[in-house]
Amino acid sequence: MTHSDDRATPLSAILLVFSTGILFSCLDTSAKYLVLSGMSPLFVSWVRFSVHVVLVLVLLQAWRHTSMFRCKSLPLQILRGAFLFGSTIFNFEALKTLQLAQTQSIFFFAPMVITALAGPLLGEWAGWRRWLAVLIGFVGVLVITRPGYQTFELGHVYAVGATLCFSFYAIMTRSMGATESPQSLIFYSALAPAILMAPVVPFTASLPAGPFHWVLLLGLGCFGGFGHWLVIKAYRQAPASALAPYSYLQMVWMIILGYLVFDQLPDRWTVTGAAIIVASGLYIVHREHRLRLRDRSVPNAENSELAKKL
């Protein structure tokens, strides 16, 4: 029987990833529009997760599938949700001053950070080739941010912070995936931020200026909730390594929306840095796929560990 990693990626799964990229691009575009209109990024983030919770309850039919409320470790679920919230609020803060393409380019560095963190946190140590890809990806981040030049600003720091928080969130997702259900992971990742930040909402709330702003604000949770739901459906049809390259097409939607909504186009430094980061990320995806195939062909654990170091 052919292993799933060797099969052609289903077109339906690819289309789901395309749709996810569009939804997440609309999420960032709406958030940028709202924070530029004067709304608090903290309040915008809280509404995004609150609507997300309601949407997840409906999409996953919580009244029929109560298993989504059960979890093995509530503290870890809360911590994971806090990392996701940190990634969101840092990203929204970055969008105040950076272009959509800039924040997305830096965010694409997350797979490299995850590769680096997987060693000390999960015991999944990368070989020298993947470490080289991580370093090259970091060069791409430096090309975009250019620290020490006048173009470097606080928004770049927020964008890097968003990337780091998401990387820890992804690491926890990988670690908890063996003991927690996918339904509980998507539910608590939204519920935890909504509850934790509720006490500060009265001090940060800033009501939308009009009906259009209300639509965008409530749409944030819809974009995020549907996006995560489609991700789950896509990963049920194909392995993450097969779908990862298509997620980089989100940069296309970001550039298009950035131009249409904000009349902004990325400069040559952002394009160059993004190309370096994407190339490094694609290599890591390719390398991990090769290692999985090699692991199935080596006869024992010693040779398997040797293969990972190559």
* pLDDT above 80: residue 184: yes
Q: What is the DSSP string of the chain?
A: ---GGGSPPPHHHHHHHHHHHHHHHHHHHHHHHHHHTT--HHHHHHHHHHHHHHHHHHHTTTTT-GGGG--S-HHHHHHHHHHHHHHHHHHHHHTTTS-HHHHHHHHTTHHHHHHHHHHHHHS----HHHHHHHHHHHHHHHHHH-TTSTT--HHHHHHHHHHHHHHHHHHHHHHHTTTS-HHHHHHHHHHHHHHHTGGGHHHH----SSHHHHHHHHHHHHHHHHHHHHHHHHHHHS-HHHHHHHHTTHHHHHHHHHHHHH-----HHHHHHHHHHHHHHHHHHHHHHHHHHHHTTSSSHHHHHHHHT-
Q: Please, is 8 exposed, middle or buried when counting C-beta atoms within 10 Å of its C-beta (0-12, 13-18, 19+)?
A: exposed
Torsion, Cα 73 20 244 159, to 10 degrees, reads -70
pLDDT tens profile 280-300: 878 877 777 676 666 555 554
Name residue, tokens 């509404």: 47
- One-letter amino acid of 44: V
* pLDDT above 70: residue 5: no
pLDDT tens profile 225-259: 888 788 878 877 776 666 777 778 888 899 899 99
* pLDDT above 80: residue 146: no
The reported pLDDT for the residue numbered 304 is 38
Structure tokens at 152: 């470097």
Instruction: Share the mean pLDDT of the chain.
Output: 82
Nearest of 78, 121, 176, 126 to residue 287 by alpha carbon = 126
* pLDDT above 80: residue 269: yes
Express as a percent the part of the chain with pLDDT over 90.
27
pLDDT-wise least confident of 88-92, 294-298, 305-309: 305-309
* pLDDT above 70: residue 4: no
User: The pTM is what?
Assistant: 0.81
Nearest of 146, 157, 126 to residue 290 by alpha carbon = 126
pLDDT tens profile 43-72: 999 999 999 899 888 877 878 878 788 888
* pLDDT above 80: residue 148: no
pLDDT band at 23; cut points 50, 70, 90:
very high
Q: In this structure, are residues 240 and 284 in contact, taking their beta carbons and an 8 Å threshold?
A: no
Which of the two residues, 221 and 241, has the higher pLDDT score? 221
The reported pLDDT for the residue numbered 218 is 93
pLDDT tens profile 95-123: 998 989 889 888 888 878 887 887 788 77
Q: What is the DSSP string of 41-53?
A: HHHHHHHHHHHHH
CB within 8 A of 161, min separation 6: which ones? 86, 90
Which of the two residues, 25 and 137, has the higher pLDDT score? 25
* pLDDT above 80: residue 169: yes
The reported pLDDT for the residue numbered 310 is 35
Half-sphere exposure of 28 (CA within 13 A, CB side): 33
